[in-house]
Structure 1
Amino acid sequence: MKWKKKNRPIKNPNNGQTKVVISRFYFILIIFLFTISIFSLPFFQNKVFHLDSIEQITNSEEITNILLTGMSTEIPELEVSAETSVEVPSFSTLAFQITTGVKPNQLSSILEKSLPGFETYTSEVYVDGEGTDESTLPVESPPPDFDELLKDDDSVDEEPEEEQKDQPENASVFVYHSHSWEAFRPLMDEENIKPSDSSSVDSKENILLVGSMLTREFEKQGIPTLHDKTNIPKALNNKGWQWNDSYKLSREIIETASSTQDQLQFYIDVHRDAAGKDVTTETINGKDYAKLYFVVGKEHAQYKQNLKFARQLNSSLKKKYPGISRGIFLKDKYDGNGVYNQDVSEKAILIEVGGIDNNKEELQNTVEAFANVFKEFYNGSMEVNAEENE
């Protein structure tokens, strides 16, 4: 008797492996998507990507040079355009700099980390003002605690009625404030406020007041001006951003204004310095003025045009109001934002008006002086040879 063999399906020995590979693929895909979703959260970005170690990596000149050197092996043009050879540091040197922020071959980097405010001394003085030296250089305010600052936001009074009038539709000047929280101690209600706490969201106490003064003076001179009064801390907080995103936020504000005001030519970012009154005040013909200075960012192609604009205004100020200007300071990406949104126009400037201890009268006197000089440039009647006067 012959037995019939049953036809059994032939097992594929690779079938189980294929299922494992597919399972692993989906697992890795899920992990990848989950990681991307976590990275996209504003909270995670603020807590991780703004760590000092990350900042050190992204701002490191050595890291930049290493990347450029590596890229030049594939892109010959980069090697041709390099003006100097790049010395690649050792791994230990690089790791030490990234973790500590200190450059082993630069003593000043140790002082920058040890002495508060010392990093401001790396600013390049392009045109010095009367009394400007190593002891009177600009001082950057420490970033405020936005959560604490915004606690009293709802209790802040509304703007005076005269400040709520309609903005012009044909404005040619845009006044705004990337650091709207910068305040003046004499204008704040509290007594004995520490210099480091001179921040406020009240437009009667902070730099918004100076912007309003300047806008009124421009309008008196027949210069149609748009003034942005955005509460920057609140806007940043609503986006989940930090204080160092302020120029990114003001960039959005500029773009919005430009889209509705096609005649805008001049962009003025108004700040205040954190130096004391002895550095930021000058008496001219019996009147006290809050001294001002210009900041020009070097990290964009047209910065020389912005610099020319600042030099013309600075020269006229020095001539008409001797001692009112502290000069012009150039900043790159290593000691500041580097651009300050000045790439939007050849006539974009950043001015620092007064310091933490200047009062309303001193600020008003300076605003009037600046408006008088600005009008000459605006009307095309300014005949100043910046090279000779500086």
Structure 2
Amino acid sequence: MKIKHHILAYFICVFLIFVLISFISVSKSQNGLFHFDTINELTESDLISESLLLLMSSEVPRLKGNLYENDIKMPDFSSLLFEFTSGITPKRFTSLIELELPGKKSLSNGVYLAGKESDLTAAPIESPPPDFEKLLKEEQPGEQSEQEEESSQDTSDADIFIYHSHAWEAYLPLLDDADKKPSEASTTNHNQNVVNVGAMLTEQLERRGVNAIHDKTNVTASLHEKGWGYSDSYKFSRQSIEEVMSNNGNITYFIDIHRDAQRKDETTITIDGEDYARIYFIVGLEHEDYGENLAFAKELDGLVENKYPGLSKGIYEKDKSEGNGIYNQDISAQSILIEFGGVDNTREELKNTSEVLAEVISEHQKGDAMKVNNTGD
């Protein structure tokens, strides 16, 4: 009896091995029995692809170095197991819909307008949430940035508000630590993060006779004081906007400056021998009047394109699947989020672009003023 059981187990093992070999070797065109849509989805998964690359890198030193430079890390086992078994990406509910709706996946990453960037790999990339505990321990510099010291214009009648929902977003060339990776490019030091860019833009606007209020709040500390976290960033900046509006009724332009996580080749352009940090206009789709913000973005994008072709990467639409989805743009038709350069841009490149953007905003603002005057007449 035991011999029969051994023989039966042997044949079952052989059969299972045969099935496994067939599953691996038989092409989909030869045998549809082994074709599963979920398998195709899994092979397209960034999470699983990166995990396989990391396993391969243990034997290929050059590959390991490349993955380290691009800050690709091994995901935790529970996330990997969940996606492998279900085809659903953790923390991204839309992946569940993508499995069932053909074509949904190709539409979930925003929309490029004006025929600028046809390659979806050029889409803006959000930096991972920073280590707030580490940022809160940073010592603040005793001196203001050069741009902040020079800014002395009265802002009681300002009509432009420049702020930063993610004020900690920094630029690697501006940081003191040359060994930091892109995912670590965060700091509360205003000389090294997007607040410095806001100061540059404010200064350039003032030189053109345009009054602007620049919010230099340490958003990290302010969120901590309220017991809020990363996901409350736009809720906090909305409070800042409402406070400014209550004190300055003239403000109609609201500019939220961020920094893209794309690398140097995607965020830098040379025009007439000068290097510039490229910009990206972001429009949120999750409010009924987003069309007005889109029209505003198109106007700014058109002005930039006419003066400095290629400096703007275009307009990118975002819904809730990619983040907040509103970005406080329901406050005003002239509210916009701008990705200002990328993680590798230098201070000089950022300064050059701030001059261009100030020129464009000033031109647009003066054009609006003329329209109002003509209407009044």
Q: Distance in 2 between matches of 1:309 and 1:100?
A: 32
SS at match of 1:354: strand
Does 1:148 pair with 2:125? no
1:135 to 101, 121, 124: 121
Cα distance change, pair 231–132 in 1 and its aligned pair in 2 (3 A): farther
Q: How many residues are matched?
A: 279
Aligned equivalents of 1:197, 1:120: Cα separation in 2: 30
- 4+ aligned runs moved over 4 Å, structure 1: 95-105, 128-132, 164-167
Residue 106 (str. 1) matches residue 130 (str. 2): no
> Match for 2:236: what amino acid?
L
- Asked if residue 375 in structure 1 is aligned to residue 362 in structure 2, the reply is yes
Q: Which residue of the partner structure matches residue 190 of structure 2?
A: 203
User: Aligned partners of 1:218, 1:233: CA distance in 2, in Å?
Assistant: 27
Partners in 1 of 2:257 and 2:100 — Cα distance? Answer: 30
The structure 2 residue matched to 1:158, chosen from 140, 143, 168, is 143
Tell me which residue corresponds to 1:54.
Answer: none
Which structure 2 segments of 5+ residues have no match? 1-85, 371-377
Q: Does 2:356 align with 1:364?
A: no
Q: Does 1:351 align with 2:343?
A: no
State the alpha-carbon separation in 1 of the partners of residues 211 and 285 from structure 2. 29
Q: CA, structure 1 residues 120+296, in 2 after alignment: closer, same or farther (shift >3 Å)?
A: farther
Tell me what 1:217 maps to: 204
Corresponding position of 1:20: none
Structure 2: distance between partners of 1:162 and 1:371 = 14
Give the structure-2-normalised TM-score: 0.69
C-alpha separation between the residues in 2 aligned to 1:361 and 1:320? 19
1:280 aligns with 2:255: no
The answer to whether the Cα contact below 8 Å between 1:132 and 1:326 also exists between their aligned partners in 2 is no
Q: Measure how far apart 1:125 and its partner are.
A: 2.0
Report matched runs for 1:250-261 at 5 Å: 250-261=237-248
State whether residues 150 and 233 of structure 1, in contact with CA within 8 Å, keep that contact through their aligned partners in structure 2: yes
- Rate the CA distance shift 1:225–1:155 in 2: closer, same or farther, 3 A: closer
Structure 1 gap segments, 5+ residues each: 1-94, 110-118, 384-390
How far has the Cα of 1:128 moved from its partner? 5.0
Q: Is the contact made by 1:128 and 1:326 (CA closer than 8 Å) also made in structure 2?
A: no
Instruction: Verify the 8 A CA contact 2:140 2:189 in the aligned structure 1.
Output: no
In the TM superposition, what are the counterparts of 1:300-379 in structure 2 within 5 Å? 300-379=287-366
Shift of 1:136: 1.4
Deviation of 1:376 after TM superposition, in Å, equals: 1.5
Structure 1 residue 106 displacement after superposition: 2.4
- Map of 1:181-200 to 2, 5 A cutoff? 181-200=168-187
**C-alpha spacing 1:362/1:160, structure 2 compared with 1 (3 Å):** closer
Whole-angstrom CA distance in 2 between matches of 1:332 and 1:318: 25
Classify 1:187/1:161 alpha carbon distance in 2 versus 1 (closer, same or farther; 3 Å): closer
- How far 1:143 sits from its partner (Å)? 0.3
* Residue of structure 1 equivalent to 2:67: none
- 1:302, CA displacement in angstroms? 1.3
Distance 1:382 1:134, change over 3 A: farther
Q: Measure how far apart 1:120 and its partner are.
A: 11
CA 1:270 to 1:105, structure 2 compared with 1: closer, same or farther past 3 Å?
closer
Q: Deviations over 1:266-323 (max 9, x none)?
A: 0000011001001000011111010001001111121111110000110111111011
Write the deviation string for residues 21-49 of structure 1: whole angstroms up to 9, x where unpaired. Answer: xxxxxxxxxxxxxxxxxxxxxxxxxxxxx
Give the Å deviation of 1:135: 1.8
| Alignment match, 1:266 | 253
Structure 1's 107 and 192: CA in aligned 2 closer, same or farther, altered over 3 A? farther
> Residues 98, 315 of structure 1: CA spacing in aligned structure 2 closer, same or farther, 3 A cutoff?
closer
Q: Is the 8 A contact 2:147 2:196 kept in 1?
A: no
1:295/1:330 contact within 8 Å kept: yes
- Cα 1:356–1:290 change in 2 (3 A) is same
Q: Which residue of structure 1 aligns with residue 163 of structure 2?
A: 176
CA RMSD of aligned residues (A): 2.7
Aligned residue number for residue 37 of structure 1 = none
Contact 2:87 2:99 in 1 (8 A): no
The alignment-based identity, stated in percent, is: 45
Q: Distance in 1 between matches of 2:106 and 2:327?
A: 16
Partners of 2:120 and 2:295 in 1: how far apart? 24
